[in-house]
Amino acid sequence: MKFFIDTANLAQIQEAHDLGILDGVTTNPTLMAKEGIKGEAAIMKHYEAICEMVEGDVSAEVLSTDFKTIVEEGKKLAAIHPNIVVKVPMIKDGVKAIKWFTENGIRTNCTLVFSAGQAILAAKAGAAYVSPFIGRIDDSNWDGVELIAQIAQIYSIQGFKTEILAASIRSALHIVKCAEVGADVCTCPVDSILGLLKHPLTDIGLAKFLEDAKKM
Ligand code: G3P
């Protein structure tokens, strides 16, 4: 399973990169706005900076919702760097645009996916990634990990090549559960990634070893 970081914060991207386990980055308009990135030139420059920091795929989201403008915007984003993956919302014009991008050699990440039906459509249109938002599904009292398992089963039976990118990850446990049910990628906040490190018995064991090392 690949590890992406879900942020537009350069310091956090660097922190995950320095850990040596980072395979890519996902962003969205909320995360970009949080970093104070405003205007087309600044947005383009920020994606360029991210692409220079990491070797893997970087998802850059379109801001329009009609086919023609999604395509125009996506072409500009894809031209920034070969690792840019154009993130397109799961709407009717979005599906049409994903199909257009697929036929024109531009890779896409279909975002805002909350059902198996939507994941089937994304795969049919040729999306490189599908992004089910598991934390938001949990928030609505359904089971986000269960959706990942269902999509993994459908894609395996049908032979779809689209990679399942589990998004809206809220904890280290989410990452473990997604790995268990066959997610291809988890995109996570840095805290959830660092949460994987933690176990009280590791801390207790290390304290004892360091104490005993003094007697060596
Ligand atoms: O990038 C999409 C997704 O990961 C957003 O997560 O925490 O806003 O539901 P969240």
The CATH number of the domain where 60 resides is what? 3.20.20.70
Quote the number of domains for the chain: 1
pLDDT of residue 14: 96
180-206: per-residue pLDDT in tens?
999 999 999 999 999 999 999 999 999
Give how far the C-alpha of residue 43 lies from the chain's centroid of Cα atoms, to the nearest Å.
Answer: 18
pLDDT of residue 132: 98
pLDDT of residue 187: 98
16-56: per-residue pLDDT in tens?
999 999 999 999 999 999 999 999 999 999 999 999 999 99
Q: What is the DSSP letter of 14?
A: H
Residues 6+ apart with CB under 8 A from 182: 148, 149, 152, 153, 156, 164
Residues 187, 23: Cα–Cα separation, whole Å: 10
User: Is residue 87 annotated as a catalytic residue, yes or no?
Assistant: yes
Catalytic residue among 87, 124, 214, 215: 87
Residue 151: what residue type?
I
Q: Which atom of ligand 1 is nearest to the CA of 111?
A: 2
Residues 6+ apart with CB under 8 A from 56: 2, 4, 22, 23, 24, 25, 83
Residues of the domain holding 45: 2-213
Mean pLDDT of 58-72: 98
Does ligand 1 lie within 6 Å of residue 182's CB atom?
Answer: no
176-186: per-residue pLDDT in tens?
999 999 999 99
